Chains A and B, each alone.
Chain A
Amino acid sequence: MELASIIQIWLAALFTIWIYTIAFRDDAFFKFAEHTFVGAAAGHSIVYGVDNIIRYGWAPMTAGNMMYAVVFILGILLYTRFHQTYFWVSRVPLSVVVGIGIGLSMRTTVTSEFIAQIISTAQMKVLGLDAWTGFSNLLFIIIVLATVYFFIFTFPKAHGGSLGIISKVARYGMMAAFGYSFANTVLSRFNMIFGRIDYVMNTWLVLPYAMLALPVILLLAIYAMIPAERRPWPKKS
């Protein structure tokens, strides 16, 4: 294995262990790993940002497409927000960016997120299916309608009296959805932890000296978790 790969694996394993120490207690190793990560991520983004400007802006412009000069000017104008008098100029390029973003997503949002969903719900069959699917579809339709009803805030009376049952059904439906989301979040997190521990155990620990280094690294991490005044060494005078 190349030396560069070995160094990369050692660093990845060390940072993984240091980051996870926060689960037990805050310590200097966690802080170091956290700050390094933030710095590296920022550096990586800057490099890619510059690369993007060169690839998608500078290269086509120098190749003769002068339309890109307009984009460059707009980009530079964004920085006027740091000027006390001309900060308002930055609103122009910002409005272009926001306008393009909204325009692009809005052109299909109505179709993809309203019409298609409404058609899909309206086409759901309840009869002529097996009992479980029919019941499941019926429940789905009831909860969709109840949840839409729940968000009608214009008429407060619509949620009072016996009509309150609709809001209650909607609340139960939403709680079930949030519960499902939360359970999936837990699943995601466990999967991520597994991925990192698998890396430490099967990629790093198989390297020479890693098994020897592990107890030292763990002991140092545990020591760093002890508050400074309770550490056996060095003694504070």
Chain B
Amino acid sequence: MAAQPKTIWDRLEDIPREILYGLLLITIILPMIYPIGFPVPISAEVQRWYNTIDALPAGSVVMIDFGYSGGGEPELAPMAVAVYHHLFKKGDIKVVTMSTSIEGPLLWEKAMLELNPAQYGKQYGVDYIHIGYIANVEAAMAAVGKSISATTTTDYKGTPLSQYSIMEGVDNAADFALLICYTTGGDQSEGWVRQWYTTYQTPYLSCVLAMMVPTMLPYQKAGQIVSVTSGAQAGQMELLVEVPGRGIKSADVITMTHLLCIAFVVVGNIAYFGKKFSGGKK
């Protein structure tokens, strides 16, 4: 039996993926070469995040979990860098960083290269430090909350923590004014609620992959997290901190790719209903 010729609706339903990905690639690259400059409105979550850091009193110590993996770096790093800019710009804020992700220390080093803390006169071991990757997610959070010195005695490079002035008088969750977590894992973002907010009531800011935001919003609504943002909102933070970076650059691309995505959905629906009404699909 001869095969039926393909109708226009069949062709629309079966557009080769090479064409779809090709269009996507063009849609990403074109706004990078010729920026459009779509507006970037500041959302309530990012504003709340910014205000929380802005309200920190001088001398505060902040704990940061650099808990994302390499795959999440393009999304989360711009936000992490923008927030570090804010913390260091503010002046007398000390930042202790740890990682619940195995790749965390490497990615933190990369972020520090991008940030260049020396431009704010910040010194490693005096104003900021990385105490290393601490294994076993929630156990690590609980242990560090109880006592950093009992959990680890060295920083990520293996140097004893006792040699760094930043660690003087800083040992448990009560010594921190704020907790910030960047992560690609649900265990981490929810774990901090369980191990630090619920136990010590430490104010908590969480930055996760956009796909994780719906899971985290109930915690924000219940007041357990001050603000939940996604890495995709980094452009807004960069605007507030006045340090334009990768986040702002991505705004045009994200808007254009989403318009393309909507166009794909519309084409798919036209094909589906076209086929249905022309009698091709029951």
Q: Residues of A with Cβ closer than 8 Å to B?
A: 23-25, 44-45, 48, 52, 55-56, 59, 100-101, 104-105, 108-109, 111-113, 116-117, 119-120, 177, 180-181, 184-188, 190-199, 201
Contact = CB atoms under 8 A, between A and B. Distances in A.
A181 B152 contact: no
Contacts of A181: 211, 214-215
Contacts of B28: 190, 193-194, 197
Interface in B128-143: 132-136, 138-139, 142
A116 B258 CA distance: 35
Contact of A191 (B102, B133, B224, B232): B232
Contact of A108 (B72, B199, B250): B199
Contacts of B253: 190, 194
A23 to B, nearest CB: 4
Contacts of B246: 195, 198
B272 to A, nearest CB: 17
A184 B103 contact: no
10 contacts: A108-B198, A112-B198, A188-B231, A188-B232, A193-B24, A194-B254, A195-B250, A197-B29, A197-B32, A201-B29
Interface of B: 17-18, 21-22, 24-25, 28-29, 32, 71-75, 77, 102-103, 132-136, 138-139, 142, 151-154, 158, 190-191, 193-195, 197-199, 209-215, 218-219, 221-224, 230-232, 246, 249-250, 253-254, 257-258, 261
A45 B71 CA distance: 15
Given A45-B102, A190-B253, A192-B74, A24 B138 contact: no
A56 B74 contact: no
Contacts of A190: 28, 253-254, 257-258, 261
A104 B195 contact: yes
Contacts of A120: 218, 221-223
B138 A105 contact: yes
A59 B158 CA distance: 11
B250 A191 contact: yes
A185 B135 contact: no
A224 to B, nearest CB: 14
Nearest to B260: A190
A191 B231 contact: yes
The B contact surface, by secondary structure, is helix
Contacts of B29: 197, 201
Given A116-B224, A197-B28, A197-B32, A187 B71 contact: no
A44 B73 contact: no
A23 B102 contact: no
The A contact surface, by secondary structure, is helix
A137 B10 CA distance: 44
A7 B153 CA distance: 34
Contact of A48 (B77, B102, B261): B102
A195 B254 CA distance: 11
A177 B211 CA distance: 11
Given A109-B194, A187-B254, A119 B71 contact: no
B250 A194 contact: yes
A55 B250 CA distance: 40
Contacts of B230: 184, 187-188
Contacts of B135: 52, 56
A128 to B, nearest CB: 19
Nearest to A102: B138
A198 B209 contact: no
Contacts of A177: 214
B74 A180 contact: no
* Residue in A101, A187, A192, A193 whose Cβ sees the most chain B Cβ within 10 Å: A187
A188 B213 CA distance: 10
B171 to A, nearest CB: 17
Contact of B138 (A104, A187, A191, A198): A104
Contact of A24 (B18, B212, B249): B18
A188 B224 contact: no
Contact of B194 (A24, A105, A180, A194): A105
A191 B91 CA distance: 31
Given A187-B254, A191-B75, A195-B74, 17 more contacts: A52-B133, A55-B158, A56-B152, A105-B138, A105-B191, A108-B194, A108-B199, A120-B223, A184-B211, A185-B210, A186-B258, A187-B230, A188-B231, A188-B232, A191-B250, A192-B71, A195-B73
Nearest to A178: B214
B210 A188 contact: yes
B198 A111 contact: yes
A191 B232 CA distance: 7
A187 B134 CA distance: 30
A119 B209 contact: no
